[in-house]
Amino acid sequence: MKILLTGATGYIAQRLLPALLQDGHEVVCAVRDKNRFNSDRFPSKNLSLAEVDFLDSDSLKNIPDDIDLAYYLIHSMSTQRGNFEEMEATCATNFRNRIQETSARQVIYLSGIVNEEELSKHLSSRQQVETILSDGGYALTTLKAGIIVGSGSASFEIIRDLVEKLPLMIAPQWLKTRCQPIAIRNVVEFLQGVILREDTYNQSFDIGGPDILTYKEMLLHFARIRDLKRRILVVPVMTPRISSYWLYFVTSTSFDLAKNLVDSMKIEVICTPNDLDKTLEIQLIGYDDAIRLAFDKIEQNQVLSSWKDAQTSDLLHKGLTRYMEVPVNGCYVEVRRLPIENEEQVLRNVWKIGGKQGWYYGNWLWEIRGFLDQLVGGVGMRRGRKSETEIAAGESLDFWRVLIASQEQKRLLLYAEMKLPGEAWLEFKIEKGELVQTATFRPLGIWGRLYWYSVFPFHGFIFGGMIRNIVNRTA
C-alpha cells in the first residue's frame, strides 16, 4: 500500500514511519526541506521523499497521484510566524484540494479532543481543520487525542522539566483541570489500526489511556515514579500571561507555544466513550507505565523523535539549504586550528557537544548567555539535544540548529537560533590532521558590529578552551 505521510519530520510521524515501513507499506514522506530529513535512520527501499510546502499550493504537485491513503499530521501551534489558525486552514485547504485529485481512498487526521463549547484557539483551529478535510472526495477518519506521553513528547518533557527542577511549585489554577493522557505507543497503534477500515470512514474517535487525572496528579505521579519529593501549591492569582511566563522560564517551551498550551490546559480533555480500542484489539497503557516506558527509551539512548526539533524561528520554514553556504563577505570570522592524533576520538567528541555534555569549556558562561537570550524571548539553552551520541541535520542543539552533520565529511555545521543582531554559524571540521573550528558572524547594522566587539574578548578563552578540550578529551 502506498501511503503519504505529512508532517514527516514531526514528533508523531517519526514514531509512525518505522511502524509503517515494518508493515511493508510504501511510504512517501512530505517534507518542506529534504536536507532536514535523516533518511539514514530509515534504510528502506519503500521510503521516498516529496518536497512540499503546504502553504504553497503549487508545491503539492510533487505528491504522487497513485497513493492509497494519506496521514494529515500537520499543525502550527508553536509557530512564531503569523497567525497559526490561518496557516492551519490554508494548509488543510491546499492538502484537501490536492489529495482529492489523487487515488487516495482515506485520509487519517490526528486532532485534539474537543468536548467543551468554549474552545482554546488551538482546539478551535483543530476543529476547523477537521471541517475542511471532511469536505473532500475521500473518506476521513479523525482520531482525537489529548496529552500524549512518550520520550521526547512536548507533554512529557514539560512535565519532566517542572518536576525535576522545582521541589516546590507555586502553580496556576489550571493544574486542577482533568485530562486523559495516552501513551505514544497507543497513538501509533490507533493510527495504524484504522488504515482502510471502512467501519472508521467518515467518523471521529476520541483516543485516550485508561486514567483520568488532573495536571497536578500527573506531576505528582511523575515525581513518585522518579523517587522525588515534590509539593505543589495551587494559587488563584496567576493570570494566563503570568502562567505562560511561568512555563516559558521553567521548561524548554517557547513563549508562543506556552501561551497556546495554557489556553488549552484550562479546558478539560476527556474522551467521549467508544469501543475503538476493543475493535482494534489495542491494550491501553496507563499513565504511570507510559512514564516508565519513556524513561526506558531515554536510558537506552533510543529517543526516536523530539518535539523540540520543531521549535524554531523562521529557519525551518525557509529551509536549511539557504543557510548551509556560510557567507564570507561582510562577516566577522574567527578560525582556530589544532593538530590531532586520534581523528576518531576527536570526531566522537565533536558529535557529543552540547546538551548534558556541555560545550567543553566555560559551561557556566554558556548558561548565562542562554539565560540572557531567554530574557529577550529567545530559545535559551533549555532544548538540549535528543541523543547523547548521535546528531542529524534539522535537530536542535541547545540554542543552535544543526545544518550539516556528516561523519563522512567529518563536519558539523551549526546555525544560531538565539536572539542576535545578525546571524551566526559555528563549524567543526577535521581536515589534514587538524580540527578546524570556525565561528562566523554576519552583523545586522551598527548594533551587530557593536555586539561582535562586545563578545570578542570572551572568545579568546571560551573558544580557545573549547577546541583544546575537544582535541584532548579521551573519553
306-329 pLDDT per residue, tens: 544 555 555 555 566 677 788 878
The total domain count for the chain is 2
Q: Residue 11: what residue type? A: Y
| Residues forming a β-bridge with 338 | 435
CB 331 within 8 A of CB 444: no
- Nearest Cα neighbor of 296 from 353, 230, 358, 225 is 225
Confidence of residue 267 (pLDDT cuts 50, 70, 90): confident
- Nearest Cα neighbor of 123 from 260, 243, 216 is 260
Residue 312 lies in a domain: no
Angle in degrees, 0-180, between the axes of helices 255-265 and 121-133, rounded to the nearest 10: 80
Strands (E), 296-416: 332-339, 396-397, 400-406, 411-416
* Predicted pLDDT at 161: 77
* Predicted pLDDT at 385: 81
CB 351 within 8 A of CB 390: yes
Average pLDDT over residues 146-168: 80
Range of weakest confidence among 102-116, 244-258, 266-280, 326-340 = 244-258
CB 165 within 8 A of CB 202: no
* Predicted pLDDT at 374: 77
Confidence of residue 80 (pLDDT cuts 50, 70, 90): very low
- Domain final residue pick, 299, 314, 340: 299
Residues 6+ apart with CB under 8 A from 60: 52, 54, 94, 95, 97, 98
- Domain final residue pick, 282, 299, 316: 299
Residue 319 lies in a domain: no
Scan for cell 543582531, then name that residue.
Answer: 421
What are the φ/ψ torsions at residue 140 (nearest 5 degrees)? -110, 130
Distance CA 198, CA 272 (A): 21
Distance CA 31, CA 28 (A): 9
pTM: 0.73
CATH code assigned at 349? 3.30.530
Confidence of residue 119 (pLDDT cuts 50, 70, 90): low
Same domain, 355 and 440: yes
Tell me the residue range of the domain where 391 lies: 327-472
Range of weakest confidence among 93-102, 116-125, 170-179 = 116-125
| Residues forming a β-bridge with 431 | 434
